[in-house]
Structure 1
Amino acid sequence: MTVESLDAGALRALMGTFRDALTMHREALNLLNVYPVPDGDTGSNMTMTAESVVAELAELDDPPGMGAVAAAISHGSLMGARGNSGVILSQVLRGLSGVFAEAGTVDGRSLADGLAAASSAAYAAVMAPVEGTILTVVRESADAAVAAADS
């Protein structure tokens, strides 16, 4: 089965799966944490941020609209952001969700545009961005997604 787009309900479910994956790999992510301070909390902070998103999404009526899901993702991630990694993740989710709300669906084009917006928001949130971090991963993902959507 090929999935070509996600509606609001599928995006809400995907955020739960994202939270579950972060939870499952929290310790491995904590071990990757070396910049700016090797304090071993990246996985924990990202998981707490995602938990806040899922809690916010749980408050929505069924079926949710894309605007409501996007707003809950953006607000939940901002309110639940912990540490540098949580703040960066919240800005990535804010960039993505803003584009998804405007598009009304998540498809190849809106994902590419969302990743570009996510990259811009994440870089803007960091006073002195450093390459080789999650910022680079988001930017290069955005570049590849935009190139694929444009082809």
Structure 2
Amino acid sequence: MITGQMLRDGVISAANNISNSRQAVDALNIFPVPDGDTGTNMSMTIASASDDIKNMEDNSDLGDVAKRVASALLRGARGNSGVILSLIFRGFSKAFKGLEKADGNDIARAFRMGSDAAYKAVMKPTEGTILTVVRCAAEAAEEIAPSNNEPIEVFLAAIEAAKEAL
């Protein structure tokens, strides 16, 4: 099961990772123009969530942590990539609402709701962007969850699909 503590620690780790990798992510950005700030914007966005949740109690419910992450991401969103990242987590937050812990099916539903929220918010969704990455992650999670409800396995399948899409 995925707990609130695991989500909190995962977001903090992700913030550190994107901060360390922001120049590489900046270099990836070529759509719609190669503006070179996607990694920087995503780093600043997720850092706002990391700062907001770092002092949450270890026993915080998953739904509470997810809600706080989504809210902090929205308030701290920078650039289009930051706004889209906040929308993905808004979908996660809705999927985890009221949950103390999540199983593999919950994880798959969170990826689907995150993907759907991001696609709906973009007037002209374009494949080959962060939208494609999160959609592929959702599809992989949904594919494995019915036969393997282990949350870590579902999450790893989503991550591998996201890497492949990227």
Question: 2:92·2:110 contact (CA, 8 Å) conserved in 1?
Answer: yes
1:55-94 alignment, distance < 5 Å: 55-61=51-57, 63-94=59-90
The match for 1:134 is 130
Q: Distance in 2 between matches of 1:120 and 1:113?
A: 10
Q: Distance in 2 between matches of 1:141 and 1:10?
A: 19
Question: 2:61·2:99 contact (CA, 8 Å) conserved in 1?
Answer: no
TM-score by length of 2: 0.83
1:1-151 alignment, distance < 5 Å: 5-61=1-57, 63-151=59-147
CA RMSD of aligned residues (A): 1.4
TM-score by length of 1: 0.91
For structure 2, the 5+ residue unaligned runs are: 148-166
User: 1:36 deviation in Å?
Assistant: 1.5
Question: 1:60·1:68 contact (CA, 8 Å) conserved in 2?
Answer: no
Question: 1:30·1:42 contact (CA, 8 Å) conserved in 2?
Answer: yes
- Paired residue type of 1:75: S
Q: Distance in 2 between matches of 1:132 and 1:15?
A: 24
SS for the counterpart of 2:56 is coil
SS for the counterpart of 2:2 is coil
SS for the counterpart of 1:25 is helix
For structure 1, the 5+ residue unaligned runs are: none
